[in-house]
């Protein structure tokens, strides 16, 4: 799984904003004043199969399909896809784990163009960047790094440090170092990946390393992950018992010869059926048999190897007459050794 997006990171201190940077990931086109960066309806990365792959060149406002005041039957034409774009200018951060945060955003074309104008109006000298600020040390000016955005990207996984705080901006970075923020995110803090460095004296007269170990602390990455994976697999199997039939059946094939994946099994069942007067009493091996309204009946047995005597009685409803029919069935299965036809091997 591609967890780490292709990205280009630069650690830039505020003191040296004019440091020359290289642009490798944005393809500049000469087709017009506006470069493709951030401009078109973006492709959803890695999720094209679940969302529409349609790449319209115009954002689709979600209410465009149903004109206001439209009659009720227009509702049948409701789009069954979610909108690609909500018309917002925003960016939002989610924490995935100590080492990754996830950003998604929307920046509208006019919003970009308006800012671009302030930087001279030419995409030739400007990059779209995702600027990641580390605000962990509160008193210091936050350090930041820039990620030059790919064409039309809409979201990004950003590599982080555990227990650090971040916010990000999407902005336009001019060659001369000027940066104009288009959207700014929320603040997030990544989880720590180990024990806290803060100790509460009132509560700390204990060998914490040992306490940590006894609590399974040194197994946190390993064993809790292992356990949870197992549990997830179990759950996955559990909840697919119905509809994940493909997965289940492939696991549950009764007899497998693993090397070639060729499977062959055979079971034997015996069907005994008959009929009598609808009000007669029928027994098989002494147990009553349920008759259909027309007096017929069917019995079905798994038949292992061996000889079986089926003792079937019918008694008339007035109890005057009894008849007995006793089929005797024997099954004997032979299993010759498998034959491998070597000549036919592909």
Partner 1 sequence: MEKGFLSIVLHAHLPFIRHPEHEYFLEEAWLYEAITETYIPLIHIFEGLERDRVPWRLTMSLTPSLMSMLQDELLQNRYLRHLDKMIELANKEIERTRFQPEFHETALHYYWEFTRARDTFANRYHKDLTQAFRKFQDHGHLEIITCAATHGFLPLISRNEGTVRGQIKTAVELYEKVLGRRPIGIWLPECGYYPGVDKYLKEQGIRYFLTDTHGILHASPRPKYGVFAPIFCPSGVAAFGRDVESSKQVWSAIEGYPGDPDYREFYRDIGFELDFEYIRPYISPDGLRVNTGIKYHRITGNTEEKQPYVRGWAMRKATSHAANFMFNREKQVEYLHDFMGRKPLIVAPYDAELYGHWWYEGPEFLNFFMRKTAFDQKMFRLIAPSDYFREYPVNQVSTPCFSSWGWKGYSETWLSGANDWIYRHLHKASLRMSEITQKFRGQNGTVGRALKQAARELFLAQSSDWAFIMHTGTVVPYAVKRTKEHLLNFTRIYDDLMNNRLDEGWLRELEGKDNIFPDLDHEVF
Query: In whole angstroms, what is the distance from residue 341 CA to residue 336 CA?
Result: 15
Q: How far is the CB of 195 from partner 1 (least distance, A)?
A: 6
CB closer to partner 1 out of 24 and 266? 266
Tokens of 311: 């003792």
Q: With contact defined as beta carbons under 8 Å apart, do 28 and 124 qualify? A: yes
CB closer to partner 1 out of 254 and 346? 254
* Paired strand residues for 314: 282, 323
Span from 23-31, 99-107, 273-281, 319-327 in contact with partner 1 (CB under 8 A): 99-107
Task: Pick out residues in 5-44 that bind partner 1 (CB under 8 A).
Answer: 44
Return the DSSP state at 314: E
Q: How far is the CB of 35 from partner 1 (least distance, A)?
A: 24
Task: Pick out residues in 70-89 that bind partner 1 (CB under 8 A).
Answer: 70, 72, 75, 78-83, 86, 88
**Residue of 15, 16, 30, 203 interacting with partner 1 (CB under 8 A):** 203
* Paired strand residues for 315: 281, 322
Tokens of 97: 């784990």
CB closer to partner 1 out of 125 and 163? 163
> What angle (nearest 5°) sits at the alpha carbon of residue 57, between those of residues 89 and 59?
35
Q: How far is the CB of 156 from partner 1 (least distance, A)?
A: 10
Task: Pick out residues in 173-202 that bind partner 1 (CB under 8 A).
Answer: 189-200
Q: With contact defined as beta carbons under 8 Å apart, do 135 and 142 qualify? A: yes
Query: In whole angstroms, what is the distance from residue 182 CA to residue 89 CA?
Result: 8
Q: How far is the CB of 207 from partner 1 (least distance, A)?
A: 8
Q: How far is the CB of 303 from partner 1 (least distance, A)?
A: 6
CB closer to partner 1 out of 12 and 291? 291
CB-hemisphere CA count at 13 Å for 294?
Answer: 5
Task: Pick out residues in 128-167 that bind partner 1 (CB under 8 A).
Answer: 154-155
Q: How far is the CB of 284 from partner 1 (least distance, A)?
A: 9
Task: Pick out residues in 214-273 that bind partner 1 (CB under 8 A).
Answer: 214-217, 219-221, 223-232, 234-245, 247-249, 251-256, 258, 267, 269
Q: With contact defined as beta carbons under 8 Å apart, do 106 and 86 qualify? A: yes
* Paired strand residues for 259: none
Contacts of 174 (CB under 8 A, 6+ apart): 119, 120, 125, 126, 180
Task: Pick out residues in 284-313 that bind partner 1 (CB under 8 A).
Answer: 285, 299-304, 306, 308
Instruction: Tell me, by CB under 8 A, how many residues bind partner 1.
Output: 106
Closest CA to 154 of 195, 104, 214: 104
Residue 283 binds partner 1 (CB under 8 A): no
């Amino acid at each position: 799984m591609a967890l780490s997006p292709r990205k280009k990171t630069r650690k830039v201190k505020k003191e040296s904003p004019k440091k020359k940077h290289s642009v490798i990931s944005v393809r500049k086109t000469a087709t017009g004043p506006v470069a493709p960066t951030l401009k078109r309806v973006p492709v959803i990365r890695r999720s094209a199969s679940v969302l529409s792959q349609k790449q319209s060149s115009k954002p689709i406002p979600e209410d465009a399909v149903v004109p206001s005041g439209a009659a009720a039957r227009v509702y049948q034409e409701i789009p069954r896809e979610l909108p690609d774009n909500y018309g917002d200018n925003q960016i939002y951060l989610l924490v995935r784990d100590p080492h990754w945060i996830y950003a998604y955003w929307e920046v509208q074309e006019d919003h970009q163009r308006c800012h671009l104008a302030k930087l001279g109006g030419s995409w030739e000298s400007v990059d779209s960047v995702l600027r990641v600020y580390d605000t962990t040390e509160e008193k210091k000016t936050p350090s930041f790094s820039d990620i030059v955005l790919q064409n039309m990207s809409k979201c990004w996984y950003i590599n982080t440090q555990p227990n650090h705080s971040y916010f990000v901006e999407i902005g336009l970075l001019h060659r001369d170092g000027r940066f104009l923020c288009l959207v700014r995110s929320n603040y997030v803090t990544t989880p720590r990946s180990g024990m806290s460095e803060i100790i509460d004296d009132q509560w700390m007269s204990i060998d914490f390393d040992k306490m940590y170990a006894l609590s399974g602390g040194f197994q946190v990455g390993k064993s809790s992950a292992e356990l949870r994976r197992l549990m997830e697999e179990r759950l996955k199997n559990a909840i697919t018992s119905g509809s994940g039939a493909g997965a289940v059946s492939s696991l549950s094939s009764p007899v497998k010869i693993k090397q070639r994946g060729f499977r062959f099994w055979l079971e034997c069942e015996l069907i005994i059926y008959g009929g009598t007067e609808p009000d007669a009493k029928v027994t098989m091996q002494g147990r009553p048999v349920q008759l259909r309204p027309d007096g017929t009946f069917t019995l079905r047995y798994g038949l292992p190897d061996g000889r079986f005597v089926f003792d079937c009685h019918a008694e008339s409803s007035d109890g005057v007459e009894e008849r007995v029919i006793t089929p005797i069935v024997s099954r004997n299965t032979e299993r010759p050794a498998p034959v491998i036809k070597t000549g036919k091997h592909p």
